[in-house]
Amino acid sequence: MPKKSDGKAAKRFWNKREEEFLLNTMKNLVIDNAMWKLDCGMFKGGFFRKSEKKIILHFPGTNLRASPHIDSKIKTRRKQYNLLQDMIQSSGFGWDDSEKIVLVDSNDRVSDAKGMRNKPFPYYDDWLTLFGKG
């Protein structure tokens, strides 16, 4: 992975095709074999590595790897999912399933929307499958 001048690894930006493939791959792995997903919404060891192998087959020559890329991407998406879930379940918020956006029912709650108001989350249904409990 390329390094920045401070010696730290440069951030890897995912394109839409890569992210969609990752989500579909992970979702299919969980649907095909529920043992990959733990009751707490986390994944068993080896899950990201299995996803990595499928990505490498689909995108020959890619530098995407389980660690740090998939791990980092899923950590970020899980954080967004958890924040969305907390908001949706709180008074003053709702969810528009057709637009995949957070609704703010009250002007008092606008500042609590944390930049998520009117921002579409097109992968929300995938996140439910991957991160939802049970």
Q: DSSP secondary structure string, 75-129? A: HHHHHHHHHHHHHHTSTTEEEETTTTEEEE--GGGGGGGTT-BT---TTHHHHHH
**Given the structure tokens 């969980």, which residue do they identify?**
30
Q: Is residue 3 part of a domain?
A: no
Distance CA 117, CA 92 (A): 12
Q: Is residue 9 part of a domain?
A: no
Rounded to the nearest integer, the mean pLDDT of the chain is: 86
When pLDDT is averaged across residues 105-118 and rounded to a whole number, the result is: 69
Q: Is residue 1 part of a domain?
A: no
Cα 11 from chain centroid?
17
Q: Is residue 97 part of a domain?
A: yes
**Given the structure tokens 């991407």, which residue do they identify?**
73
Domain count, the chain: 1
| pLDDT higher than threshold 60 for residue 98 | yes
Cα 5 from chain centroid?
29
107 or 43: whose pLDDT is higher? Answer: 43
Q: Is the pTM of this model over 0.85?
A: no
Give the pLDDT confidence of 39-70 residue by residue, as tens digits: 887 999 999 999 999 999 999 999 999 999 99
Q: Which residues contact 130 (CB under 8 A, 6 or more apart)?
A: 23, 26, 27, 30, 37, 74
pLDDT of residue 87: 85
Q: Is residue 10 part of a domain?
A: no
Q: 3-state class of 59 per DSSP?
A: coil
Q: Is residue 115 part of a domain?
A: yes
Domain that holds residue 73: 16-129
| Residue 60 in tokens | 């020959």
